[in-house]
C-alpha cells in the first residue's frame, strides 16, 4: 500500500463551442488507492465519461481546455507531454469501453486487437504477443481461446466481446483500469458475470479500478468509494457505506429513489428525480441542482446564490450541499429512508 | 473463400448471358416492336443508298426474316464458334469471339475493338492510379485538418473538378501544356510496345485531365468516410491503447474508410474500360470511346452491339472483382 495511485485535484475540462463554453468537468477532486475501486455515478451528461477520457488524455485535445492536476503515481498528466501520456496509455492505465461491438475494430481479429497494445508497449515478437492474447482470453473466461483468438468481433456474443475488451485492457497489466459503463450494453445475467470478472481480476492484478456508471447496483457491488457527479462537479464523495447508508445530498437521495428494486412491493412507485440534467453551458446559479431539488428552500436562498463547497459531514464523507449535516441526517432518516422501505441497511 | 469465388464467377457468367440477351433484344426486338420490319432493319446493315435487292440480300444473309430465337442462337454461336459472313463475291470468316460483322468497314467487329482497347486501357489504368492515390491522400489530409485552409482549398478545387467536364479541362490543358509551352507536344497515342517512354509522355495530359475529375470525387468521398470513421468508438479504443496517432489514422481509420472506396473504384474503372469517351475524343485517341462514338454516328449496329457487350463485360467483371476484394477486406462479408 504505497498510498494513492491516482490523485485528481480541481480538474476542469471545458470545451469552447459555438453556443458557449461547455463545462463538462468543473473542479473535480478525488483520490484512488492501489487495489481500490472508485465508482463514479451520475446521470447522462454529468461529466463522468469526460473525466475518464481526460485522465487518459483522450478528451479531444485540440479544442478542450483542461486545468487542474491528474497525478498518476505522482506524475502530473495534465502538464505532461502528450507523447508521455500516450506511453502510459494502454500500459499503465487502460480503459474498458461501453459498447464492445462498436469499440472493437470490425476488420481485425480479436487476437490482433488484444496483442496490439502489448506489441507497442513491450519489445516482443508477434508469436509471443499471440500467445499472450490466448492466455488473456483464457484468463477472462473465453472457451477454446486458442482458436477463438482468430475470430472477428462479430463472431463473438455480446458478453464474450466485453470479456475480450477486458482482455484488451489488461494486456499490459495496467495499474489503473477505467471501466466506462462496462455492463450497459449487456444482458442482466451477463452483467453479473462481467462484474465478477472485473473484481476477480482486480484482486489478481492489484489494479486500481474506476467504474463509471449510472447504475447504482453496479457500484454497490464493486466499489469501495463512490463519487456522485452532477453537472461536472462532485455532489457527494464517500465510502460505499456512506453513500448507501447515510447519503447527504438530495441528488443522491434522488438516485437511490429512482432505482427499481425486486424486493419492493409492485404497488410502490419509483421516486424519479424531477426535471432534466442542466445544460453544461448555462449551469444554474448557486447549487447546480437547486432547480430540481425539493429541499432548496430550507437553505434560505443560499442554494440559488452560492455554489456549495464540498464539506466533510463525517470523516472521509464529503457532501456539496448547503443543508447542514444535521438537516441532511434528519431528512434522510425521517423522510427518504422511510419511503425507500428501509433499504440498504449499512 | 474458394466456394465464394466460384459462386461469384458463376453469377458473373449468368449475368453476361442476361446482358447479351438484353442487348440482343434492344437491337433486334425493339425495332420490330416499334413497327420496323426486317427489311428496314436490314437497311441499317448495308452501306449508303442501297438498292432494294441488295438490302433484301442482306436481310436474308443475316437471317432477319427468321424467328428471333434462331437469330439469338446464331448470335451466341457466333461468339463461341465464329460465323461466316458473305460479303459480295467472297465469304469472310469472323473468328470467335465473333460479335458481328460490320458491313460499313467490311471487317469483323471484335478485332477492331481489340485494336482500340489498348488505348482505352492505357488511359483508364494510368488515370485510375493517379486519382486513387491523389484523391485518397487529399481526402485523408482534408479530413484530418477539417476546416483548415488546406481543407477548404482542396474541397473547393474538388468542387471545380467534379463540375468541370473533361472536354473543358482537356482543351485548356492541351492549349497550355501542348501548344503554348509545348511541354507535351504532338499528343497522340503511341503503343507501349513500340516506345514506352513516348507512350507515357503522350498520356500524361489525358491521365491528369481524367484523373482530376475522378480525384475530386474520391477526395470528397474519402474525406466524408474518414470524418465518419475517425469518430467511431474503435478509433478511441485504438488511441486508448497508446497507439501513435499515425498508426491510429492509417491502420484503424483509413482501413475502414477505404472499404466503400474499393467498391466505387472497381465500378468506375470497369465503366471507363468500356470507353473513356470524352477523354479519347478530346485528345483524339482512337480507343473504345472513339470507336463507340463513330459506331453511333454511322448507325453501325453490329459495332454498337459489340461495344455494348464489351462494356457490359468490363462492368460485370469489375463487379465480381469488387465483391471478391470486399470479402477479403471486410471479414463480415464472408459469412
Q: Please provide the DSSP assignment of A203-260 as one string.
A: HHH--EEEEEES-HHHHHHH-SEEEEEETTEEEEEEEHHHHHHS--SHHHHHHHHTS-
Name which of A90, A98, A107 is nearest B330 (Cβ-Cβ): A107
- Chain B nearest-CA distance from A94, in A, is 7
- Chain A nearest-CA distance from B227, in A, is 14
Report pLDDT for A267.
Answer: 61
Report pLDDT for B225.
Answer: 95
A151 touches B: beta carbon within 8 Å: no
Which run of H or E residues covers position A71? strand A65-72
Report pLDDT for A341.
Answer: 63
Chain A residues with beta carbon closer than 8 angstroms to that of B329: 107
A28 touches B: beta carbon within 8 Å: no
Q: Residues A102, B232: contact at Cβ < 8 Å?
A: yes
C-alpha cell at B184: 507535351
- Scanning A75-94 for CB atoms below 8 A from B yields 86-91, 94
Q: Give the pLDDT confidence of A167-205 residue by residue, as tens digits.
A: 999 999 899 999 998 888 788 888 888 888 888 889 888
Q: Residues A180, A97: contact at Cβ < 8 Å?
A: yes
Q: Which residue of B has its CA nearest to A168?
A: B241
Chain A residues with beta carbon closer than 8 angstroms to that of B331: 106-107, 109, 152, 154
Could you read off the pLDDT tens digit of each residue along chain B, which spans 335 residues? 788 889 889 999 999 899 888 888 888 788 778 877 778 777 777 666 778 887 887 777 777 788 888 888 888 888 888 888 776 677 888 888 888 888 788 888 999 999 999 999 999 999 999 999 999 999 999 999 998 999 999 999 999 999 999 999 999 999 999 999 988 888 889 898 999 999 999 999 999 999 999 999 999 999 999 999 999 999 999 999 999 999 999 999 999 999 999 889 999 999 999 889 999 999 999 999 999 999 999 888 889 889 998 999 999 999 999 988 888 888 888 64
Q: Cell 449468368 maps to which residue?
A: B14
CB contact under 8 A, B243 and A116: yes
B29-35 long-range contacts, CB within 8 A, separation 24+? B29/B68
Q: Residue A122: left if φ>0, alpha if ψ -120 to 50, beta else—which one? A: beta
Q: Residues A86, A108: contact at Cβ < 8 Å?
A: no
Report pLDDT for A221.
Answer: 81
Q: What's the average model confidence in pLDDT over A158-171?
A: 92
Is the pLDDT at A346 greater than 50? The verdict is: no
Report pLDDT for A279.
Answer: 86
CB contact under 8 A, B236 and A103: yes
Task: Count chain A–chain B contacts defined by CB atoms under 8 A.
Answer: 74
Tell me the pairing of strands A317-319 and A233-239.
Answer: antiparallel
Q: Cell 473535480 maps to which residue?
A: A28
Supply the pTM of this predicted model. 0.83
Q: Which of A109, A118, A170, A121 is nearest to A145 (CA)?
A: A109
More confident residue, A129 or B66: A129
Cα–Cα distances in angstroms (integers) from residue B204 to residues B56, B64, B160, B176, B183, in the given order: 49, 46, 20, 14, 10
Report pLDDT for B39.
Answer: 80
- Residue A322: HSE in the Cβ half-sphere, 13 Å Cα cutoff: 21
Mutate to test the interface with B, among A116, A154, A168 (most CBs of B within 10 A): A116
Tell me the pairing of strands A233-239 and A225-230.
Answer: antiparallel
Is the pLDDT at A237 greater than 90? The verdict is: yes
For residues A59 and B145, what is the distance between their CA atoms, to the nearest angstrom? 18
CB contact under 8 A, A86 and B242: yes
B143-150 long-range contacts, CB within 8 A, separation 24+? B143/B222, B143/B223, B143/B224, B143/B225, B143/B226, B143/B227, B143/B230, B144/B226, B144/B230, B144/B249, B146/B227
Cα–Cα distances in angstroms (integers) from residue B152 to residues A14, A72, B147, B155, B158, in the given order: 27, 41, 6, 5, 10
Chain A residues with beta carbon closer than 8 angstroms to that of B244: 86, 120
- Chain B nearest-CA distance from A219, in A, is 23
Q: Is A7 helix (H, G, I), strand (E, B) or coil?
A: strand
Mutate to test the interface with B, among A105, A113, A161, A164 (most CBs of B within 10 A): A105
Mutate to test the interface with A, among B225, B227, B241 (most CBs of A within 10 A): B241
User: H helices within B287-329, ranges in order?
Assistant: 288-297, 301-329
Name which of B234, B252, B332 is nearest A102 (Cβ-Cβ): B234
- Chain A nearest-CA distance from B308, in A, is 38
Q: Is A9 helix (H, G, I), strand (E, B) or coil?
A: strand
Report pLDDT for A138.
Answer: 93
Report pLDDT for B229.
Answer: 94
Q: What's the average model confidence in pLDDT over A112-125?
A: 93
Q: Which residue of A has its CA nearest to B335?
A: A155
Domain chopping of chain B, boundaries: 2-108, 110-329
DSSP result, B160-199: HHHHS-HHHHHHHHIIIIIIIS-SS-S-----TTT-HHHH
Q: What is the share, in percent, of chain A residues with pLDDT greater than 70?
A: 95
Report pLDDT for B30.
Answer: 81
Report pLDDT for B265.
Answer: 95
A105 touches B: beta carbon within 8 Å: yes
A61, burial (CB in 10 Å: exposed 0-12, middle 13-18, buried 19+) = exposed
Percentage helix, strand, coil, to 5, in chain A? 40, 25, 40
CB atoms within 10 A of CB B200: 14
- Chain B nearest-CA distance from A168, in A, is 8
Cα–Cα distances in angstroms (integers) from residue B28 to residues B23, B94, B291, B302, B311, in the given order: 9, 20, 21, 11, 19
Q: What's the average model confidence in pLDDT over A73-96?
A: 92
B251-256 long-range contacts, CB within 8 A, separation 24+? B252/A105, B253/B226, B253/B229, B254/B140, B254/B226, B254/B229, B255/A105, B255/A107, B256/A105, B256/A106, B256/A107, B256/B225, B256/B229, B256/B232
Report pLDDT for B128.
Answer: 96
| Four-way CATH pick for B110-329: 1.10.1740.10, 1.20.1530.20, 1.50.10.10, 1.10.3720.10 | 1.10.3720.10
Q: Is A317 helix (H, G, I), strand (E, B) or coil?
A: strand
Q: What is the share, in percent, of chain A residues with pLDDT greater than 90?
A: 50
Residue B227 main-chain phi, psi, to 5 deg? -60, -40
Q: Cell 462494356 maps to which residue?
A: B311
Q: Cell 457466333 maps to which residue?
A: B78
For residues B293 and B290, what is the distance between their CA atoms, to the nearest angstrom? 5
Chain A residues with beta carbon closer than 8 angstroms to that of B252: 105
Name which of A88, A107, A168 is nearest B255 (Cβ-Cβ): A107
Cα–Cα distances in angstroms (integers) from residue A291 to residues A156, A273, B109, in the given order: 45, 11, 83
Name which of B232, B236, B244 is nearest A58 (Cβ-Cβ): B236
Cα–Cα distances in angstroms (integers) from residue B167 to residues A235, B19, B175, B284, in the given order: 68, 30, 12, 11
Q: Which residues face A230 on adjacent strands?
A: A233
Is the pLDDT at A343 greater than 60? The verdict is: no
Q: Where are the beta strands (DSSP E) in A279-337?
A: 311-314, 317-319
Report pLDDT for A264.
Answer: 63
Cα angle A271, A276, A281 (rounded to 5 degrees) comes to 150
Q: How many H-runs (helices) and E-runs (strands) does chain A carry?
A: 14, 12
**Cβ-proximal residues to B104 (8 Å cutoff; 6+ apart), any chain:** B47, B298, B300, B303
CB contact under 8 A, A102 and B233: yes
Amino acid at each position: 500500500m504505497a498510498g494513492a495511485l491516482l490523485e485528481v485535484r480541481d480538474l476542469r475540462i471545458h470545451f469552447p463551442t459555438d453556443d458557449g463554453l461547455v463545462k463538462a468537468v468543473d473542479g473535480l477532486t478525488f483520490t484512488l488507492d492501489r487495489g481500490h475501486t472508485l465508482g463514479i455515478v451520475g446521470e447522462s451528461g454529468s461529466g463522468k465519461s469526460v473525466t475518464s477520457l481526460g485522465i487518459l488524455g483522450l478528451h479531444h485535445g485540440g479544442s478542450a481546455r483542461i486545468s487542474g492536476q491528474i497525478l498518476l503515481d505522482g506524475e502530473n498528466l495534465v502538464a505532461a507531454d502528450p507523447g508521455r501520456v500516450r506511453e502510459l496509455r494502454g500500459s499503465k492505465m487502460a480503459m474498458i469501453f461501453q459498447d464492445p461491438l462498436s469499440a472493437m475494430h470490425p476488420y481485425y481479429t480479436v487476437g490482433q486487437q488484444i496483442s496490439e497494445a502489448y506489441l507497442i508497449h513491450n519489445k516482443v515478437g508477434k508469436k509471443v504477443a499471440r500467445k499472450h492474447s490466448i492466455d488473456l482470453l483464457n484468463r477472462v473466461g473465453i472457451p477454446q481461446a486458442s482458436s477463438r483468438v482468430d475470430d472477428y468481433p462479430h463472431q463473438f456474443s455480446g458478453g464474450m466481446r466485453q470479456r475480450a475488451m477486458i482482455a484488451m485492457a489488461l494486456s499490459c497489466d495496467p495499474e489503473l483500469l477505467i471501466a466506462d459503463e462496462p455492463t450497459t450494453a449487456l444482458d442482466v445475467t451477463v452483467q453479473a458475470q462481467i462484474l465478477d470478472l472485473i473484481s476477480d481480476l482486480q484482486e489478481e492484478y492489484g489494479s486500481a479500478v474506476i467504474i463509471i456508471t449510472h447504475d447504482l447496483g453496479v457500484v454497490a457491488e464493486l466499489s469501495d468509494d463512490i463519487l456522485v457527479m452532477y453537472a461536472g462537479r462532485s455532489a457527494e464523495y464517500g465510502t460505499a457505506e456512506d453513500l448507501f447508508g447515510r447519503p447527504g445530498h438530495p441528488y443522491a437521495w434522488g438516485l437511490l429513489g429512482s432505482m427499481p428494486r425486486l424486493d419492493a412491493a409492485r404497488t410502490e412507485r419509483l421516486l424519479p428525480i424531477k426535471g432534466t440534467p442542466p445544460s453544461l453551458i448555462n449551469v444554474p446559479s448557486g447549487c447546480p441542482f437547486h432547480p430540481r431539488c425539493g429541499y432548496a428552500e430550507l437553505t434560505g436562498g443560499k442554494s440559488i446564490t452560492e455554489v456549495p463547497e464540498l464539506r466533510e459531514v463525517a470523516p472521509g464523507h464529503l457532501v456539496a450541499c448547503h443543508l447542514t449535516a444535521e438537516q441532511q441526517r434528519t431528512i434522510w432518516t425521517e423522510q427518504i429512508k422511510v419511503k425507500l422501505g428501509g433499504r440498504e441497511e449499512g | 473463400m474458394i466456394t465464394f469465388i466460384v459462386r461469384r464467377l458463376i453469377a458473373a457468367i449468368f449475368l453476361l448471358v442476361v446482358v447479351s440477351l438484353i442487348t440482343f433484344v434492344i437491337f433486334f426486338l425493339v425495332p420490330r416492336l416499334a413497327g420496323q420490319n426486317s427489311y428496314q432493319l436490314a437497311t441499317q446493315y448495308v452501306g449508303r443508298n442501297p438498292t432494294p435487292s441488295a438490302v433484301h440480300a442482306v436481310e436474308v444473309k443475316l437471317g432477319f426474316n427468321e424467328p428471333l430465337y434462331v437469330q439469338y442462337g446464331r448470335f451466341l454461336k457466333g461468339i463461341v464458334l465464329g460465323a461466316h459472313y458473305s460479303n459480295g463475291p467472297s465469304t469472310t470468316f469472323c473468328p470467335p469471339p465473333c460479335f458481328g460483322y460490320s458491313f460499313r468497314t467490311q471487317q469483323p467487329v471484335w478485332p477492331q475493338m481489340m485494336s482500340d482497347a489498348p488505348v482505352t486501357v492505357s488511359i483508364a489504368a494510368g488515370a485510375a492510379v493517379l486519382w486513387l492515390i491523389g484523391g485518397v491522400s487529399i481526402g485523408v489530409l482534408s479530413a484530418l485538418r477539417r476546416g483548415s485552409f488546406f481543407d477548404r482549398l482542396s474541397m473547393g478545387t474538388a468542387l471545380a473538378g467534379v463540375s468541370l467536364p473533361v472536354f473543358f479541362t482537356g482543351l485548356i490543358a492541351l492549349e497550355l501544356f501542348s501548344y503554348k509551352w509545348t511541354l507535351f507536344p504532338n499528343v497522340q497515342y503511341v503503343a507501349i510496345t513500340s516506345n514506352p517512354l513516348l507512350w507515357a509522355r503522350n498520356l500524361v495530359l489525358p491521365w491528369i485531365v481524367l484523373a482530376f475529375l475522378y480525384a475530386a470525387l474520391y477526395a470528397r468521398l474519402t474525406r466524408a468516410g474518414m470524418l465518419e470513421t475517425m469518430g467511431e468508438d474503435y478509433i478511441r479504443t485504438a488511441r486508448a491503447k497508446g497507439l501513435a496517432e499515425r498508426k491510429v489514422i492509417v491502420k484503424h481509420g483509413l482501413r475502414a474508410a477505404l472499404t466503400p472506396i474499393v467498391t466505387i473504384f472497381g465500378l468506375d474503372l470497369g465503366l471507363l474500360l468500356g470507353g473513356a469517351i470524352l477523354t479519347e475524343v478530346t485528345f483524339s485517341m482512337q480507343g473504345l470511346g472513339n470507336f463507340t462514338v463513330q459506331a453511333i454516328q454511322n448507325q453501325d449496329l453490329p459495332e454498337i452491339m459489340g461495344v455494348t457487350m464489351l462494356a457490359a463485360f468490363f462492368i460485370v467483371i469489375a463487379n465480381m472483382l469488387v465483391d471478391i476484394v470486399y470479402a477479403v477486406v471486410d471479414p463480415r462479408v464472408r459469412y
